[in-house]
Amino acid sequence: MSKVRTEDLLEQFALELVAGEDGIHREIHTSDISRPGVEMTGYFKFYPKERLQLLGKTEMSYFNELGKEDREDRAAKLCTDVTPGIVITRGMDIPTELREAARDAGVPLMLSPYKTTRVISRLTNFLETKFAPFTAIHGVLVDIYGIGVLITGQSGVGKSETALELVKRGHRLVADDSVEIRQEDYDTLIGNSPPLIEHLLEIRGLGIINVMTLFGAGAVRSYKRITLVINLELWEKNKQYDRLGLEEETMKIMDVDVPQATIPVRPGRNLAVIIEVAAMNFRLKRMGVNAAEEFSERLTKVIDQDQQNT
């Protein structure tokens, strides 16, 4: 999990730091954002002080109607030694009591010119991405016709060579060898390459090649949602492989079950074309067109007709 500090928000969202510059290195430990409305009334029993605090028009209007002593009390209680920061939206004027409390406690007090809903939405998305569950898988990730295809298999089976052929056919490389995956939602997996090997492919006998340099910027992309897994394995003579496509395999990555197809590797098979077609067929299935089921229905009708004729 990435470390997120208040200074990251200042850089990412161009917030104006009004006070509390001593605390910009404070860490944010949760993606939850608090809007301390009840706290403005003086009830701090369940105040989530470890969260980023956001004050909108409603909270600031109530705060400004309080007496001076109450404003000083609320501001002092809002600014604790663990509060990572306070964001005020709509570019509103900041009361002196809040500025002084933030300065004394070292709590970054930041100002945004945008509406509250927009600010809280962007901050939440940013923090959810940073705190998303994370793992790494040995494989290759390629964007094929808009489908994020994760190619897996044992070392030396031909994953990188297949990815190179797919790139030559106009598809885009996301990651080779190691794919970093984060779960941004309960059913959404986003894959990207480690910075050290971004845009690079390792081809045995040839070495490391830079895909973006050789094929252009259109041959790579930084990240892609993973929706299909293709597992390459060496052909086993005695193993029965699915010939109709009616069986549905899945691969569990963290909490998400991703559709998976196993493709046996043997000389003479064009893996790039097979994977390309697998991605197109997957798109058709999502659109409601399933060739395997159509064939099964046709076969059933033929069998029923033969039985009726006999």
Task: Return binding residues for Mg(2+).
Answer: 160, 202
Distance, CA of 176 to CA of 163 (rounded, Å): 8
Phi, psi of 41 (to 5 degrees): -80, -10
Active-site position among 8, 22, 70, 177: 177
Is 99 an active-site residue?
no
Note if 159 is an active site residue: yes
Binding site for ATP, by residue number, is 153-160
Catalytic residue selected from 3, 45, 239, 243 = 243
> For residues 219 and 170, what is the distance between their CA atoms, to the nearest angstrom?
7
Q: Of the residues 138, 168, 266, 301, which is catalytic?
A: 138
- Among 259, 303, 299, 304, smallest CA distance to 279 is for 259
CA distances from 141 to 33, 85, 280 (A): 33, 38, 16
Choice among 159, 172, 182, 199 that is catalytic: 159
Binding-site residues from annotation: 153-160, 202
Judged by DSSP in three states, 135 sits in strand
The pairing of beta strand 140-144 with beta strand 16-19 = unpaired
The answer to whether the CB of 7 falls within 8 A of the CB of 25 is yes
Phi and psi for 221 in degrees, rounded to 5? -150, 160
* 3-state SS record for 80-121: CCCCCCEEECCCCCCCHHHHHHHHHHCCCEEECCCCHHHHHH
Catalytic residue flag (residue 177): yes
Is 243 a residue of the active site? Answer: yes
Mapped to the 3 state alphabet, what secondary structure does 124-176 carry?
HHHHHHHCCCEEEEECEEEEECCEEEEEEECCCCCHHHHHHHHHHCCCEEEEC
Catalytic residues: 138, 159, 177, 243
